Amino acid sequence: MNTMIIISQGLIFAPIVISILIYLFNKKIINYLVFPIQFALTTMVIKLWFLLEEHGPFTYVLGGYNQRIAVELKMDHLSLLFMMMAVLMWWSVIIYAWNHKGKDFKFLFFLMFLEGSFMAFLQVNDFFTFFVLLELITIISAILILYKKDGISVKAGLYYLLFNSLGMVIYFFGIMLLYFKTGTLNMTISQSIIEQSFISSHSFSILHVSFATIFIAMCIKAALFPVYEWLPRAHTAAPAYISALLSGLLVKTGIYGLLRILPIFNVFDVSDFLFYLGFFTALSGIIFAVSQKDIKGILAFHTISQIGLIIMSLAYGSEIGYIGAYLHLFNHFLFKSILFFGAGLIINNYGYRRVTEIHGIFKTHPFLSIMMIIAILSITGAPFFIGFISKSMMKYSGINYFHQILFQLIGLGTVISFIKFSTIFIGKKQKKNPLDIGGIIGIGFLTSITVMSFFFELSWSKTLLKIGRISWDYGLAKGYDKIQHSMFTISSVAEFSIMAMLAYIIFKLIIKPEAKFYHTIRHFRVKFQDAVIYLLIFLAAVLNYI
Amino acid sequence: MIDVIIAIAVIGVALYGIATSKNIIKTIICFNILQAAVILLFIVIAGTTGYDIPILTSENLVPVDPLPQALMITAIVISASVTALSLMFFVKIFHYYGTSNWETLISKDESQ
């Protein structure tokens, strides 16, 4: 067990110590230390994977205090998944940004410090340390959004910081109520106390308020339906590598929080609420995505729709939905990072941001285009690409056919928004500008992982389905066999091509002609004050529902 | 009881201020008031009368639960840093746009 403690502490403190060294010495040679430290982190995460397979989840208390009041760290498969994502993400960000940010010691300080605090966030098992680390992540990522040093990014950074910190104040309110009710902040202990106190009385109590506030705070971090306005602002204003970091990883802190907190409050049944919340999130994400002209805007709103899809799949707690959602978290991180990196390269080289102004990328940069097309096919769920595995699993997670239709509808919307995005590849050639080589290597690294993880996920999900870890007691029992046998039959290919054709027709007939109301939708921005009012209404709705 | 009511009232005032003020500085200050009010509320709830201060004394009185106060100190540090950072952001915004009004800021964004 000592190895586990060393790994756990190493994952947290190695990047933080390196970041402080970088800041103190301020020398180019010290900056190269990030590479060995990334190798060390990768080794530690792989070692952790084997140890977890062997021994199962691992918890330990810091400082030898009573478990009820102490800081407890816990590592399980969920944190392992996020740690793998984090290590890959930081590798690709460092490779991508090295050419023009490698000398910037302040940038590397913030980046590595963020990695350490993110690794710590993935291990904590008590509500208060969770709060502190989440706030730390919010502050550092707000500084990183500012990094382009222009007016729009400062504005987006302020919006992001204030709105997310408001969410954190609400979360803090909730956990302190929970502390006075249960006498502990430890997640494992408080779960049993909540269950006991709920058996004794069902009436409205402090616990309801506490659950509602904690739930709302996680919804803000995950950018769900009424309170997602901070996300598109931050994603479009930040530099490309930070957008990728935000969209690939940091927006998922909210989903991680929901995955940790919903089992603790399992006495409250919010499955229907969560499903439709996810659906409206996904739908509004798509409506805004198809009306955008800015290529980063399309990607940002598309992130919202994918987050909604993941929430929909998690809502009913079916095992197939969970596995699909976990795989989709990982897949979404891969392909969305590739697209943001690619969009950043294109914007930096041509100086345009609008879909209509960029054309003929395939002719000028065929290698970049092929990698981005792989990502687009994955994101739309085309057969033989990673998105297909997770999306077809998520499709069967609802409890009736109506839910399955809603999943298909969101899939259709995804295809439409990406047809709009891929118009940048065709058309007549523009003047060719050389691309940043580090950027290409960063994208190539992620693309190779995307292709490799397809085979890995395929075998992994098949074994998972075969050994019967999926207990299937829902209406769509046939879904189980269907995925196992018809992964690559003609029918799935036909289904996708019909969907793509339908999407193309809708795109040609409705989206392309540029009706006037698209202009209204495109410039629809929620003011900060209005967002706060939506937040309060949302809080009232959750309190009313539970 | 009266102190709990005061703390909740301050929370309400701060939320009202955040949701209505047109000036960025006012929003940030209301935000700081909100954090302070939440901290005040929990210090008031935790400090039950009839118990001693949580320091070892010679008299045999039962001390109050020291954990909430320890947590509140951390929360105060966090709220101070968030306020400081957002004021820094405001200085930058004023440098770029020359306004402290949310609405003027939005209209400047549209004109670009």
Convert the pLDDT of each residue in B49-95 to its tens digit: 667 776 766 666 777 778 888 888 989 999 999 999 999 989 988 88
| Beta partners for residue A73, in sequence order | A60, A124
Task: State how far the Cα of A407 lies from the Cα of A283, in Å rounded to an integer.
Answer: 10
Convert the pLDDT of each residue in A45-59 to its tens digit: 888 888 888 887 888
Number of residues written out for chain A? 546
Based on the number of CB atoms within 10 Å of its own CB, is B19 exposed (0-12), middle (13-18) or buried (19 or more)?
A: middle
Task: State how far the Cα of B91 lies from the Cα of A129, in Å rounded to an integer.
Answer: 31
Q: Using the predicted structure, report yes or no on whether residue A255 has a pLDDT greater than 70.
A: yes
Place of tokens 């977890």: A52
Asked if A307 and A387 sit in the same domain, the reply is yes
Asked if A138 and A177 sit in the same domain, the reply is no
Do A291 and A518 form a contact (C-beta atoms < 8 A)? yes
ipTM of the complex: 0.92
Based on the number of CB atoms within 10 Å of its own CB, is A398 exposed (0-12), middle (13-18) or buried (19 or more)?
A: buried
Residue spans per domain, chain B: 2-111
Q: Using the predicted structure, report yes or no on whether residue A65 has a pLDDT greater than 70.
A: yes
CB atoms within 10 A of CB A87: 21
Q: How confident is the model at residue A139 (pLDDT cuts 50, 70, 90)?
A: very high
Asked if A160 and A96 sit in the same domain, the reply is no
Please tell me the number of Cα atoms within 13 Å of A85 on its side-chain side.
31
Asked if A230 and A249 sit in the same domain, the reply is no
Largest CA distance in chain A: 73
Contact B38 A152 (CB under 8 A): no
Asked if A140 and A283 sit in the same domain, the reply is yes
The rounded mean pLDDT for chain A is 82
Asked if A402 and A542 sit in the same domain, the reply is no
CB atoms within 10 A of CB B59: 5
CB atoms within 10 A of CB A65: 11
Task: State how far the Cα of A378 lies from the Cα of A386, in Å rounded to an integer.
Answer: 6
A139-143, A357-361, A443-447, A530-534: lowest mean pLDDT where?
A: A357-361
Instruction: Determine the average pLDDT of the residues in A443-451.
Output: 82
Asked if A275 and A416 sit in the same domain, the reply is yes
Task: State how far the Cα of A362 lies from the Cα of A373, in Å rounded to an integer.
Answer: 10
Pick from A113, A172, A173, A220 the residue to mutate for testing the B interface (most B CBs within 10 Å). Answer: A172
- Identity of the amino acid at A274: L
Q: How confident is the model at residue A140 (pLDDT cuts 50, 70, 90)?
A: very high
Q: Using the predicted structure, report yes or no on whether residue A79 has a pLDDT greater than 50.
A: yes
Contact A169 B68 (CB under 8 A): no
CB atoms within 10 A of CB A186: 23
Q: How confident is the model at residue A474 (pLDDT cuts 50, 70, 90)?
A: very low
CA distance A151 to chain B (A): 6
Nearest residue to A183 via CA among A130, A135, A131, A127: A127
Closest residue on chain A to B22 (Cα):
A529
Nearest residue to A278 via CA among A223, A209, A197: A223
Task: State how far the Cα of B67 lies from the Cα of A182, in Å rounded to an integer.
Answer: 13
Domain that holds residue A177: 149-240+254-268+520-546
In this prediction, residue A137 carries a pLDDT of 92
In this prediction, residue B50 carries a pLDDT of 65
* Higher local confidence (pLDDT), A542 or A355: A542
Do A360 and A429 form a contact (C-beta atoms < 8 A)? yes
Instruction: Determine the average pLDDT of the residues in B103-110.
Output: 71
Task: State how far the Cα of A214 lies from the Cα of A170, in Å rounded to an integer.
Answer: 7
Cα–Cα separations (whole angstroms), residue A138 to A56, A132, A144: 31, 10, 10
| Beta partners for residue A58, in sequence order | A75
Based on the number of CB atoms within 10 Å of its own CB, is A60 exposed (0-12), middle (13-18) or buried (19 or more)?
A: middle
Task: State how far the Cα of A76 lies from the Cα of A90, in Å rounded to an integer.
Answer: 21
Do A171 and A213 form a contact (C-beta atoms < 8 A)? yes
CA distance A112 to chain B (A): 19
Asked if A437 and A456 sit in the same domain, the reply is yes
Asked if A123 and A158 sit in the same domain, the reply is no
- Write out the CATH class of domain B2-111: mainly alpha
Convert the pLDDT of each residue in A146-183 to its tens digit: 887 777 888 888 889 999 999 999 999 998 888 888 88
A128, A180, A533: residue with CB nearest B19 = A533
Asked if A135 and A168 sit in the same domain, the reply is no
Q: Where are the alpha helices (DSSP H) in A435-527?
A: 437-466, 478-485, 490-506, 516-522
- Which chain A residues contact residue B34 at CB under 8 A? 166, 169
Please tell me the number of Cα atoms within 13 Å of B67 on its side-chain side.
15
Convert the pLDDT of each residue in A498-531 to its tens digit: 888 888 888 777 766 666 777 777 777 778 888 8
The token duo for A482 is 């269907």
Cα–Cα separations (whole angstroms), residue A24 to A27, A35, A40, A321: 9, 18, 22, 47
In this prediction, residue B10 carries a pLDDT of 92
- DSSP string for A516-537: HHHHHHHT----HHHHHHHHHH
B94 touches chain A (CB under 8 A): no
User: Considering its fold, how many domains does chain A have in total?
Assistant: 2
Q: Determine what percent of chain A is predicted with pLDDT higher than 70.
A: 92
B82, B103, B110: residue with CB nearest A161 = B82
Q: Using the predicted structure, report yes or no on whether residue A312 has a pLDDT greater than 80.
A: yes
Contact B85 A135 (CB under 8 A): no
Asked if A443 and A476 sit in the same domain, the reply is yes
Contact A157 B89 (CB under 8 A): yes
> Number of helices and strands (H, E) in chain A?
24, 2
* Higher local confidence (pLDDT), A95 or A56: A95
- Which chain B residues contact residue A525 at CB under 8 A? 106
Q: How confident is the model at residue A470 (pLDDT cuts 50, 70, 90)?
A: very low
Convert the pLDDT of each residue in A321-373 to its tens digit: 777 888 888 888 888 888 888 888 888 877 777 777 777 777 777 888 888 88
CA distance B50 to chain A (A): 18
Task: State how far the Cα of A417 lies from the Cα of A301, in Å rounded to an integer.
Answer: 10
B89 touches chain A (CB under 8 A): yes
The interface residues of chain B toward chain A in range 22-41, judged by CB-CB distance below 8 A, are 22, 24, 27-28, 31, 34-35, 38
The token duo for A288 is 């805004």
In this prediction, residue A356 carries a pLDDT of 75
B14: helix, coil or strand? Answer: helix
Do A86 and A118 form a contact (C-beta atoms < 8 A)? yes
Task: State how far the Cα of A363 lies from the Cα of A369, in Å rounded to an integer.
Answer: 9
Contact A154 B89 (CB under 8 A): yes
A16: which residues sit within 8 A by CB, 6+ positions away?
A: A112, A113, A116, A117
Asked if A480 and A392 sit in the same domain, the reply is yes
Contact A150 B96 (CB under 8 A): yes
The token duo for A183 is 């006498």
Please tell me the number of Cα atoms within 13 Å of A507 on its side-chain side.
21
The token duo for B51 is 């118990």
B71, B96, B103: residue with CB nearest A151 = B96
Crossing angle of helices A528-545/A151-182, nearest 10°?
30
